[in-house]
Structure 1
Amino acid sequence: MEGLEFVEPSKLYNILQQATVFSCLSDPNYLLLIDARDKDNYNESHVITAKRAIKSENDEFIVPYDAELECKENIIVYDSNTASLKDQGPAVNCGSLLWDMGSRNTVKILKGGYEIFSALYPFLRTQKVLFMPREMDDFKPFPIEIIPGFLYLGNWGQANTAYIQKDLKIKNHINCCVELETFFPESGPQLLHIQVEDRNDADILSHFATACAFLDTKNSENTAVLVFSCLGISRSATVVMAYLIHSFKWTLEEAYKHVLDCSSYVRPNRGFIKQLAQWEEDVLGESKTNVDDPNF
């Protein structure tokens, strides 16, 4: 349908986790999340920061008075369980209204609705209706989800926060920091330590094969892994891209695009990008991505 697109639960999860110094949820123009279920279901629980869709006396959706559709970067609507954009359910009907009334970007409809999202991410459910600006500033994001249920990308603080490991069921870490202090105290079956400084001349290429073997093992065991570095934007992102090239036989450009889609703040240094280009050639048998292209 025009103006609407389906999004996976992991996409909404990652949108909720974007942050620099503060969570992106602090920006009032960043996200408008609409719950199109009935009032009782909304009051029982809803996705954090979601606003209930308002209806007129004729039982028709109306645009919230403070929606400012033309300013919102992301508009996402969900109901109980939307399986297709062809469904004329509450989420699609509400999303169509928001598009028709001036959304500047395509309105996203959550695939599977609240039932699927809340089952996957129960820690993002709430009964709270109103969030103050200071609460949004204090919102602590979770690691970014790269491969749903398996591979996460984060920073040192997230890797050492107990409730994050519990909520995401993370049993393994790849530590890309030079520092040794981690949630898992010793290297072993649960922890791979890659000691690399975030410098253009640092050798990270020689660690890719070991990291990929570690991740393959954990994938076969069906246990989740968090790859982290100090800020979660360079060294850890580089290792994650190397695994995507290895596992899915993606080009470097495809791997980079996927990780950027998950987190808009990843920025591997140029030395690491060149080493990823060499890894791409080693894995795929030929060079596919021109990293010297100014558009890359």
Structure 2
Amino acid sequence: MADLVFCEPTELYNILNQASKLSRLTEPNYLCLLDVRPKREYDEGHLITALRVKKKKNQYLIPESVDLECVKYCVVYDSNTNNLDLHMRDICLKEDDEDGDADGEHQKCSHIQEFLPGPAVEFGQFLTDFTRQPVNVLKGGYEFFSGMYHFLRTQKIIWMPQELDEIQPYPIEIIPGRVFLGDFRQANDPKIHKDLKIKAHVNISMESTPFFVDDPDRLLHVQIEDVPEAALLPYFRRICHFMEIHLYLGSIILVFSTRGISRSSAALVAFLMHNKEATLKRSWAHVKKCKANMRPNRGLVTQLSEWEKTILGDYITDISEPIY
């Protein structure tokens, strides 16, 4: 039996936006996102690619198109579940009236209170018998998630393979609501800037974007090539200082490079080491948890090790062993 765990909204956001050349939502066994709200609410709006869970004779039905044993992520959500514990519901018990009439017209209702799991928890517990990976219950449910990421709502029910291929992922969220990691395409997309409310750029590529041109207060452009011998270490302190100022001001920052895999990932690892006074290994693990295909080149790994010594006074992470 698999475990039942909570999934924070930022975790689901990042799951939905993982990509290589295409969105990972194109992979049939990557994500099973299940909506246990009533049909009316589902039809009004649901999360992208979510399947509605149906009931028959008060029993949940698993969608036929899903092979739960092979799914990497199984996420269930209802309207607003906030914990995995039981919560109180008001139950109406219908009773016959004094004449014994049970046709429904002369029944009276007495109310009792009973502790029951929420719909997402109830269905999630049911699913743990069928999955190998943990079943995730979305914390805050649809209401909270859609309030944070309204642009991931849809009324679309059936997705053709070509439509999944055309999905354009959003930047990955490294610090919830504050710092995002993206690529050059995302950095040039006005819709992404509007949806995420991006107010500052850290551009670690040779290319330029049309945003924040001639505004050094909101644009830090570090022009280095994507090669192992490129020197990013001399810029780490400046990057950290720029980002800390914008976090203090409440700005939302997009850090990006051409593909968003090597140079920008290294910059964010360096920032977390500085900001949290954390080891290279711990900071790396956080960025990799958010963006699964992050992979700074070997030259940048060596420079991050030097940065660790600068920040913490010693080489703590053993980079002779793979930390990927």
Q: Give me the TM-score of the superposition, normalised by structure 2.
A: 0.88
C-alpha deviation, 1:180, in angstroms? 2.8
Question: Which AA in structure 2 matches 1:185?
Answer: V
The 3-state SS of whatever aligns with 2:164 is: helix
Partner of 1:212: 240
Distance, in Å, in 2 between the alignment partners of 1:269 and 1:187 is 30
The 3-state SS of whatever aligns with 1:20 is: coil
Contact 2:23-2:167 at 8 Å conserved across structures: yes
1:94 aligns with 2:94: no
Which of these two proteins has the greater Rg computed from alpha carbons?
A: 2
Question: Which AA in structure 2 matches 1:94?
Answer: F
1:257 aligns with 2:285: yes
Question: Which AA in structure 2 matches 1:32?
Answer: C
Partner of 1:45: 45
1:271 aligns with 2:299: yes
5+ long unaligned stretches in structure 1: none
Question: Which AA in structure 2 matches 1:89?
Answer: G
The 3-state SS of whatever aligns with 1:82 is: coil
Partner of 1:103: 131
Question: Which AA in structure 1 matches 2:300?
Answer: F
Partner of 2:159: 131
Contact 2:179-2:254 at 8 Å conserved across structures: yes
5+ long unaligned stretches in structure 2: 87-116
- Which segments of structure 1 move beyond 6 Å, counting only runs of 4 or more? none
Question: Which AA in structure 2 matches 1:73?
Answer: K
Aligned with residue 164 of structure 1, among 186, 192, 208? 192
Contact 2:182-2:260 at 8 Å conserved across structures: yes
Change (3 A) 1:33 1:62: same
Distance, in Å, in 2 between the alignment partners of 1:177 and 1:136 is 29
Contact 1:174-1:225 at 8 Å conserved across structures: yes
1:33 aligns with 2:33: yes
Change (3 A) 1:162 1:138: same
1:239 aligns with 2:292: no
Question: Which AA in structure 2 matches 1:60?
Answer: Q
C-alpha deviation, 1:200, in angstroms? 1.4
C-alpha deviation, 1:2, in angstroms? 5.8
State the Cα deviation string for residues 11-40 of structure 1 (Å, max 9, x = none): 000000011111100111111000111111
Partner of 1:76: 75
Question: Which AA in structure 1 matches 2:124?
Answer: G
Distance, in Å, in 1 between the alignment partners of 2:65 and 2:208 is 48
State the Cα deviation string for residues 208-237 of structure 1 (Å, max 9, x = none): 000000000000011100000000000000
C-alpha deviation, 1:183, in angstroms? 2.4
Change (3 A) 1:290 1:47: same
C-alpha deviation, 1:67, in angstroms? 1.6
Question: Which AA in structure 1 matches 2:201?
Answer: H
Distance, in Å, in 1 between the alignment partners of 2:215 and 2:295 is 27
C-alpha deviation, 1:166, in angstroms? 0.3
Contact 1:159-1:182 at 8 Å conserved across structures: no
Contact 1:187-1:193 at 8 Å conserved across structures: no
Q: Give me the TM-score of the superposition, normalised by structure 1.
A: 0.96
The 3-state SS of whatever aligns with 2:320 is: coil
Partner of 2:225: 197
Partner of 1:228: 256
C-alpha deviation, 1:293, in angstroms? 1.4
Distance, in Å, in 2 between the alignment partners of 1:253 and 1:187 is 34
The 3-state SS of whatever aligns with 1:77 is: strand
Percent identity, please. 46
C-alpha deviation, 1:144, in angstroms? 0.4
Contact 1:29-1:71 at 8 Å conserved across structures: yes
Distance, in Å, in 2 between the alignment partners of 1:294 and 1:36 is 41
Contact 2:178-2:253 at 8 Å conserved across structures: yes
C-alpha deviation, 1:295, in angstroms? 5.4
Coordinate RMSD, CA, aligned? 1.3
Question: Which AA in structure 2 matches 1:276?
Answer: L
1:66 aligns with 2:65: yes
